[in-house]
Structure 1
Amino acid sequence: MPPLLPLQLFKNLSDETRLSLVLLLREKGELCVCELVYILKETQPKISRHLALLRESGLLIDRRDGKWIHYRLSPHMPAWAAAIIEQAYLCQRDDILHLSQQAERDNATTNGKAVCM
């Protein structure tokens, strides 16, 4: 994979869905596709397409656990890219926490049933 260039990072983060995915993963560490779908209230194909773009650019890594795929930020991304993501996270932290907490409250109202079926 070629090294990540600033233009590629900014193109990836210019999309609201991709930015939200990256910031949620910064907040939570690792999330399953179905959790991301649930939190962002988007379709699975849309989320998966954006995750694939982020993975192909080297921002994310994934791991398979049975039929589920979990994503997290890549520890191999350049330090400058990680610093930009960290600054974006700090600027958007309240919004990301709100999204995450709302999903947790919604899950509580469904008797705590897992969102991944």
Structure 2
Amino acid sequence: MPQLLPLQLFKNLSDDTRLSLVLLLREKGELCVCELSSTLKETQPKISRHLALLRESGLLLDRRDGKWIHYRLSPHMPAWAAVVIEQAYLCQRDDILKLSQQAERDNGTPYGKPVCI
């Protein structure tokens, strides 16, 4: 995994979609691509492209479960980067909670598999 530099972190977080993905993963722990796509109301290819950039920079880890790929924040990211993400989360917590609650209402399930079918 390449060393994450501050400029790379801030470039990654300067995009609204990527920032929202990171903050949602901070809130929920782990989500699959379809859950993230549904929550942000974006296409799966767009979300997957942004997730790949975040994964390549060392911010995210992924795991495959059948046809689904689940993402989570990497516990291996530098401590300074985790602090930046935590502070961003604390600033945006209310908005992220509303977004995640709205997704649960829209989907009729708290990030369950039916969203992904």
TM-score normalised per structure 2: 0.95
* Match of residue 74 from structure 1: 74
Could you say what secondary structure the match of 1:17 adopts? helix
* Match of residue 50 from structure 2: 50
Q: Which runs of 5+ in 1 are unaligned?
A: none
Note the alpha carbon deviations across 1:4-33, whole angstroms, 9 max, x for none: 000000000000000000000000000000
Runs of 4+ in 1 over 3 A off after TM superposition: none
Say whether residues 1:38 and 2:55 are aligned partners.
no
Say whether residues 1:115 and 2:81 are aligned partners.
no
* Match of residue 9 from structure 2: 9
TM-score normalised per structure 1: 0.95
Q: CA offset at residue 107 of structure 1?
A: 1.6
Note the alpha carbon deviations across 1:33-62, whole angstroms, 9 max, x for none: 000000000000000000000000000000
Could you say what secondary structure the match of 2:31 adopts? strand
Aligned length: 115
RMSD (Å) for aligned C-alpha atoms: 1.3
